[in-house]
Amino acid sequence: MPSYVNLSYRFFGKISRSVKGNFLDIREDLQRANIAYTLEEYLSTAFFTTALAFVLETISLSFIFGLIRFSVVSALLLSITLSLAISGVLFFLFYSYPAAAAKTRQSKIKKILPFAVSYMATISSSRLPPIVLFRTLAGFKEYGQIAEEAANVSRDVDVFGMTFSAAVKKQAKRSPSTEFRELLWGINSIIASGGDLTFYLKQKSEEMMNDYRRRIRKYAQDLSLFVEIYLTLIITGSIFFIVLSSIISAISGGLGTIFVQAFVVFILLPLLSIGFIIIIKSISPVE
């Protein structure tokens, strides 16, 4: 039984090949996001999913509008219009997903890179071949995205027979992280020139650790600021609003104040708290 991607390619492969020149930026993002699809396969999946969603949405909305007693023509036109809009949003999500995934991988690599480089420096001090660094690093899944990057280098050398230099250059071009890309280019240059790889890795590890400490200190300052904002505006503001609205309600005798207070306490306040948690999590330098 063909997979969903193969089925999509069977229907839209020809169209994808003809229009792929307009979506070359997606190819680079697919590589950087480590999504194991070719550009033609990804575009075919996007086209097939969008077309399938359009058909299902049109049928469903036409039935719903028919139940609301729209005329046949009005129901059909309105359902087609809404289906086009929803399908357009869906295709845009397909278009933007690889770039978003690549950016997420970049952030994760940056958070764990100082520790991975320190580990590589320790292994390199044993004077093992450079490829062993990447084979060993690929085996430590705790390093997340960096382990995947190292696994790609190891695979290109062990499975596809590429030279270590060619494999490192290839991965440097595909990596979403500027810092890791520079590290790979540096490793390749050191090996090509016969330099001291251990000294280079220790130097990079020290630089990255210093930058990591700086980001930790900045995060602590930002976190303190966010806590003050949360306590002052959200908590204190909510209490002040509830007290003030209760006084006004007692004077005017309004019953709608209770519903407003319930909305603030049970809906608005939790949503704002969740928003603060998401913001704090997104700026955290810790994985």
Residue 126 has pLDDT above 90, yes or no: no
Closest CA to 42 of 93, 104, 105: 93
Paired tokens of 210:
């210093």
pLDDT, the chain, mean = 88
Do 120 and 134 touch, CB atoms closer than 8 A?
Answer: no
Amino acid 252: pLDDT: 64
Please report how the helices 72-124 and 130-138 are oriented relative to each other, as an axis angle in degrees rounded to 10. 130
Domain parsing of the chain, residue ranges: 4-103, 107-209, 211-282
Closest CA to 184 of 169, 166, 202: 169
**What does the angle CA 14 – CA 18 – CA 22 come to, to the nearest 5 degrees?**
135
Q: Which helix (H) or strand (E) holds 102?
A: helix 72-124
Phi then psi dihedrals of residue 129, to 5 deg: -60, 145
| Confidence label for 158 from pLDDT (cuts 50, 70 and 90) | very high
| Confidence label for 1 from pLDDT (cuts 50, 70 and 90) | very low
Amino acid 117: pLDDT: 93
With tokens 């028919």, the residue in question is 66
* Length of the chain measured in residues: 287
pLDDT tens-digit profile of 24-71? 889 889 989 888 899 999 999 999 999 999 999 998 888 888 887 777
| Confidence label for 212 from pLDDT (cuts 50, 70 and 90) | very high
Residue 248 has pLDDT above 90, yes or no: no
Least confident stretch, 67-71, 150-154, 180-184 = 67-71
